[in-house]
């Protein structure tokens, strides 16, 4: 007998979606869940909405909310409303809870049993709390439980990932939404490569779609890692002088296409022209440094260091430097005899594909593969048995999670995470010049850099004068189209972040 499933949408309310560290961000998560809900409705799968509602007088607040004096989703407020894309349709059950589990309200279980449901598919927030509690209670009530791993979110993503790791295979099965659709649509085998995609829009004009990026699923990542590992010994045996020659060829190709890379950075991530030109220069200099370091061991007068590759390495890069960061990781990985799998952040996908084209021209494409994907693809790179080391640049929360998991796997990891950079201004400084320099250091590329100045420590005697000068310098920054030569502050990459700013 074919399983009958229902979707549970847990706590997709505005207050819970307002956390700045929510991952995925609120709009991305809502889009994924809305897509799954639409599929459910088209396939006659019931949808049950679980909402938390707190009384204005505090009578039903959870104890830790009472202790902090702050509650979420107060009855009658906008914060208690669901995301605009996830309003319950007519006839769909809405269950109200006070604590964590969606089964607190008997209405949820009654609706499921009335429809003959034996499998619940759980989506929503937060993975480490209400998703976990709802899944555990569904399991205890005898339901088969599936968590849509790419349609749940948490403001504590490291804890959320550990929750999914623990619960998968115990109280629940964790699957991507596309695999869930395939499973219940036709009892087909899991879609191994996935058909989902991610839409990247022009940061300077969100109505303009730039790229539709297919998202690789775990099985595809595992297959790629296995293929690279099989090829890696042959690359390791390639003389270091030959590897250096191929990398120098790559450098020549990239340098000859300089204008192309600048234009791509302006378009795809909204980087102001002056910053885009700086990134290309920086990336080329990093590649040149690697080429210069690849000296044939036999040519050394005194050979005290012998380089040995680690194997196949996983490279995960951020969107804010989508040219320089991949180049800076690919070059040493390949130069020292490793094969590599690169997962760029999604807004940098098109630039990564163009880099892949240049690697093909240089004769290096056999030793590196590029995959596009969300957190599921990144997790797969870290987990793949053939990966010998991981290099990650990105957020602190994700970095902590990767470092923790690599530690469990006894796998070398390098992590470059966010910063909280300070500048110190002493009394003998040129106040106006320093203010101008710091305004640029704070807000160029809209501050979307881990190296941006976030704190200024000023000697007390010049505090008021410096503050006035800095405010004036900030007001004089040139805001405009990223393609203009004088623009210093362009668009913010993600629409929801710009609206929250």
Model confidence pTM above 0.85: no
The pair of structure tokens assigned to 447 is: 């501050």
In 3D space, the residue among 389, 311, 342 whose CA is nearest the CA of residue 224 turns out to be: 342
* Confidence (pLDDT) at 449: 85
Domain assignment present for residue 112? The answer is yes
Asked if residue 223 is part of any domain, the answer here is yes
Same domain, 187 and 211: no
Last residue of a domain, one of 368, 392, 416: 416
One domain for residues 356 and 281: yes
Say if residue 187 is in the same domain as residue 215.
Answer: no
Residues 72 and 34 in one domain: yes
Could you tell me if 446 and 375 lie in one domain?
no
Q: What CATH number is given to the structural domain containing 395?
A: 3.40.605.10
Do 403 and 463 lie in one domain? The reply is no
Annotated catalytic residues are 416, 450
DSSP states of 232-244: HHHHHTS-HHHHH
Decide if 197 is inside a domain. Answer: no
Residues 404 and 426 occupy one common structural domain:
no
Q: Is the separation of the CB atoms in 13 and 66 below 8 Å?
A: no
Q: How many domains would you assign to the chain?
A: 3
**118 in a domain, yes or no?**
yes
The torsion angle over the Cα atoms of residues 85, 86, 92 and 95, rounded to 10 degrees, is: -160
Q: The domain containing residue 64 runs over which residues?
A: 5-191
pLDDT of residue 195: 43
Task: CATH number of the domain at 146, please.
Answer: 3.40.50.850
C-alpha pair distances (Å), 166 with each of 122, 160, 175, 387: 16, 10, 14, 22
d(CA 158, CA 162): 6
Q: How confident is the prediction along the chain (501 residues), in pLDDT tens digits per residue?
A: 457 899 999 999 999 999 989 999 999 999 999 999 999 988 889 999 999 999 999 999 999 999 999 999 999 999 999 999 999 998 899 999 999 999 999 999 999 998 889 999 999 999 999 999 999 999 999 999 999 999 999 999 989 999 999 999 899 999 999 888 878 864 333 333 344 777 888 888 888 888 888 888 788 899 999 999 999 999 999 999 999 999 999 999 999 999 999 999 999 999 999 999 999 999 999 999 999 988 755 555 555 677 789 999 999 999 999 999 999 999 999 999 999 999 999 999 999 999 999 999 999 999 999 999 887 788 889 989 999 999 999 888 788 888 988 998 999 999 998 888 999 999 999 999 999 999 999 998 888 888 889 999 999 999 999 999 999 999 999 999 898 889 889 888 866 555 555
Residue 145 exposed, middle or buried by CB count within 10 Å (0-12, 13-18, 19+)? buried
* Residue finishing a domain among 362, 393, 416: 416
232 & 367 share domain: yes
Do 437 and 381 share a structural domain?
Answer: no
Residue 196 falls inside a structural domain? no
* CA dihedral of 485, 488, 494, 499, whole degrees rounded to 10: -120
- Same domain, yes or no, for 389 and 293? yes
Q: What angle do CA 151, 156, 161 make, to 5 degrees?
A: 55
Tell me whether residue 280 is in a domain: yes
| Cis amide bond preceding 15, omega within 30 | no
- Domain for residue 232, yes or no? yes
Same domain, 176 and 271: no
What's CA 328's distance to the chain center, in Å? 19
Distance CA 167, CA 135 (A): 9
284 within some domain: yes
Q: Which of 191, 213, 228 is the last residue of a domain?
A: 191
- For residues 215 and 321, membership in a common domain is answered with yes
Domain CATH code at residue 448: 3.40.309.10
């Amino acid at each position: 007998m074919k399983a009958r499933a229902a979707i549970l949408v847990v706590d997709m309310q505005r207050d819970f979606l307002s956390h700045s560290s929510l991952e995925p961000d609120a709009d991305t998560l809502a889009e994924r869940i809305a897509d799954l809900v639409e599929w459910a409705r088209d396939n006659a799968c019931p949808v049950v909405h679980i909402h938390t509602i707190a009384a204005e007088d505090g009578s039903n607040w959870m104890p830790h909310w009472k202790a902090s004096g702050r509650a979420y989703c107060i009855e009658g407020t906008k914060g208690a409303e669901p995301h605009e894309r996830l309003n319950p349709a007519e006839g769909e059950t809405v269950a109200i809870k006070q604590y964590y589990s969606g089964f607190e309200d008997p209405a949820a279980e009654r609706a499921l049993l009335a429809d003959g449901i034996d499998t619940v598919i759980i989506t929503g927030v937060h993975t480490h709390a209400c998703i976990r509690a709802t899944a555990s209670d569904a399991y205890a009530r005898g339901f088969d439980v599936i968590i849509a791993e790419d349609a749940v979110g948490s403001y504590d993503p490291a804890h959320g990932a550990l929750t999914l790791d623990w619960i998968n295979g115990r109280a629940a099965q964790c699957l991507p939404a596309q695999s869930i659709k395939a499973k219940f649509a036709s009892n087909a085998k899991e879609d191994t490569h996935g058909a989902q995609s991610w839409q990247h829009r022009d940061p300077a004009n969100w109505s303009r779609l730039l790229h539709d990026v297919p998202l690789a699923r775990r099985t595809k990542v595992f297959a790629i890692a296995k293929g690279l590992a099989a090829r890696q010994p042959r690359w390791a045996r390639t003389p270091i002088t030959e590897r250096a020659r191929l990398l120098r060829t790559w450098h020549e190709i990239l340098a000859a296409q300089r204008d192309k890379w600048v234009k791509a950075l302006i378009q795809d991530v909204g980087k102001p022209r002056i910053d885009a030109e700086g990134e290309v220069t920086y990336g080329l200099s990093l590649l040149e440094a690697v080429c210069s370091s690849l000296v044939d061991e036999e040519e050394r007068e005194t050979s005290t260091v012998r380089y040995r590759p680690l194997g196949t390495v996983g490279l995960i890069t951020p969107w804010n430097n989508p040219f320089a960061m991949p180049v800076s990781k690919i070059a040493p990985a390949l130069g020292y005899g490793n094969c590599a799998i690169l997962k760029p952040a999604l807004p940098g996908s098109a630039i990564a594909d163009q880099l892949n084209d240049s690697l093909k021209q240089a004769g290096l494409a056999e030793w590196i593969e590029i995959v596009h994907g969300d957190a599921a693809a990144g997790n797969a790179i870290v987990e793949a048995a053939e990966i010998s080391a991981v290099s990650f640049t990105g957020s602190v929360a994700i970095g902590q999670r990767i470092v923790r998991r690599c530690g469990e796997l006894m796998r070398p990891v390098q992590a470059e995470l966010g910063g909280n950079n300070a500048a110190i201004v002493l009394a003998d400084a040129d106040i106006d010049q320093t203010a101008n320099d710091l305004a640029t250091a704070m807000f160029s590329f809209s501050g979307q850099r881990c190296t941006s100045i976030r704190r200024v420590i000023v000697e007390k005697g010049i505090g008021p004068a410096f503050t006035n000068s800095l405010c004036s310098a900030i007001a004089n920054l040139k805001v405009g189209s990223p393609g203009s030569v004088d623009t210093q502050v362009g668009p913010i990459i993600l629409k929801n972040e710009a609206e929250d700013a």
